[in-house]
Amino acid sequence: MDLIAALRRICGENAVQDGAEAGGLGRDATGKYHWRPLAVVRPRDTAQVSAVLQLAGQNGVSVVPVSGNTGLNGGTRAEGAIMLSTERMNRIRDIDPAARTATVEAGVILQTLHEELAPLGLGFPMTFGARGSARIGGILSTNAGGSNVLRYGNMRALCLGVEVVLADGRVMNLMSALHKDNTGYDLRDLFIGAEGTLGIITAAVLKLSPLPRAHVTAVVAMARLEDALSLLNALQAASGGGVEAFEYMPDIYMDRLARYRPDLLPPITTGPVNLLIEAASTAPALSDPGPEGAPPLRDAIETVLSDAMEAGQITDAAVASSDAQRRKMWEMRESAAEITLNELPIVDTDIAVPLGAVAEYLDRMRARITKLDPQARIMIVAHLGDGNVHYTVYPSRDDDGLQNDLRQAISEEAVALGGSFSAEHGIGVSKLPTMAALKDPVALDVMRVIRQALDQQGILNPGKTIPK
């Protein structure tokens, strides 16, 4: 109780909840993990975060940072720990339209940032289905990806600087807006993707991009996944590298969409392979309407799709003719979490393989899953343009051993093809056994040394990211 009282003196009486009041943040987005935190604190600024960490260190109490709590691997599990929420640290400190940067606090919601930038003709090109609740601190801490990585990269590529509070309460100011800085180790990237195990990100300088003058969005059906990569390359050539999204929704995804969201069925006859494609441009030569009212970018994309249809690669296609149609196409893809994470037991993963290996990976996995659990059901959706496959299995029984075997098989096949067992969701708790089994042991030793050096007491998000 003395600790709770001290937290209230730091953050304010109404900014600290304990006991039953703290239960609202006692579960993750999947519903798989549940816990009871010692307290939930909502600091208002970096100074309060620093004071909380100093107090926690003095008392040997763990601290688990939480932003939007939209993670899928148990990264915010906090049994008996202080959960430090960035909810009140939600100021956009500065927007520099000329330099195309935004300085924001960790609690800024991604969609809020999008809305603030739009009137300036600018955008922050990170987007995914949970953008209405995900916060910048959490997005950085998991090095999130999303649908536009193909063109803009993940969060590491979109962040210029960070402000971090270390385990002992010291504040490290790396809030540079520089595009080039070779003054020693790149500490910024060390904290991005560390899931709060090395320090708590409290603010960041982000790179902005001009909003496109034109979008061309289409849904396409194909018979063979092997033809998708050549289609992507043709679209990139025709659009001058303007393809922003190339999303894969196989027939099993469309079947589940029809079951749970029949209002979102696409305007085409779907096939074994279905793609959501979006290209965009800021260049007037591609974006301004031509004599018939359509931008040249649309003509270029439609020509590629027409040629692919004549070659027998595409079986059906539709190009959005209005913003409403474009939004509906995107909702079809962004409903993935809604129609996937609504059933237990579940093994939810996010692997990545080289672009040319996706079809082979799926073939290998079909055989592995059949061998491990013949009655299991599979759900797949993918950011096909960057090789990131969200591979989900619904096991036939609620058996931890079986679930671990399935997760291991999904990861082993990815690594065997030169891929990764974690593309954008982090490690958290779920992937610790996989880290222990498949990550290079020397790399793990280096990670442990770094973690020990920065958090000697081990109070920052313990039991996550790095296996014992």
84-133 tens-digit pLDDT = 999 999 999 999 999 999 999 999 999 999 999 999 999 999 998 889 99
Q: How many domains does the chain have?
A: 4
CATH assignment of the domain containing 103: 3.30.465.10
Domain final residue pick, 181, 210, 239:
210
Residue 196 is assigned to a structural domain of this protein:
yes
Asked if residue 24 has pLDDT above 80, the reply is no
Instruction: Examine the domain organization and report whether 223 and 318 are in the same domain.
Output: yes
DSSP strand pairing (243-248 vs 273-281): antiparallel
- Placement of tokens 């343009």 in the chain: 385
Is residue 191 within 8 Å of 203, Cβ to Cβ? no
Token readout for 427 is 């490690």
Mean pLDDT of 74-93: 95
Beta bridge partners of 163: 173, 203
In CATH, what number is assigned to the domain containing residue 71? Answer: 3.30.43.10
Please indicate, yes or no, whether residues 125 and 178 belong to a single structural domain of this protein. yes
Residue 260 confidence (pLDDT) above 70: yes
- Give me the chain's average pLDDT, please: 95
Give 245-257 pLDDT, tens digit per residue: 999 999 999 999 9
- Using one digit for the tens of pLDDT, what is the confidence trace for 266-293? 999 999 999 999 999 999 999 998 887 8
Residue 143 belongs to some domain of the structure: yes
More confident residue, 365 or 33: 365
**pTM to 2 decimal places:** 0.93
The pLDDT score that the predictor gives to residue 206 is 98
310 and 394 within one domain: no
User: Do 116 and 173 share a domain, yes or no?
Assistant: yes
What would the pLDDT profile of 296-333 be if each residue is shown by its tens digit? 999 999 999 999 999 999 999 999 999 999 999 999 99
Same domain, 107 and 53: no
Angle among Cα 430, 435, 439 to the nearest 5 degrees reads 160
Read off the pLDDT of residues 194-250 as tens digits, 9 standing for 90 and up.
999 999 999 999 999 999 999 999 999 999 999 999 999 999 999 999 999 999 999
DSSP 159-175: EEEEEEE-TTSPEEEE-
Domain extent for 313: 214-337
pLDDT at 1: 64
The answer as to whether 31 is a domain residue is: yes
Residues 6+ apart with CB under 8 A from 328: 264
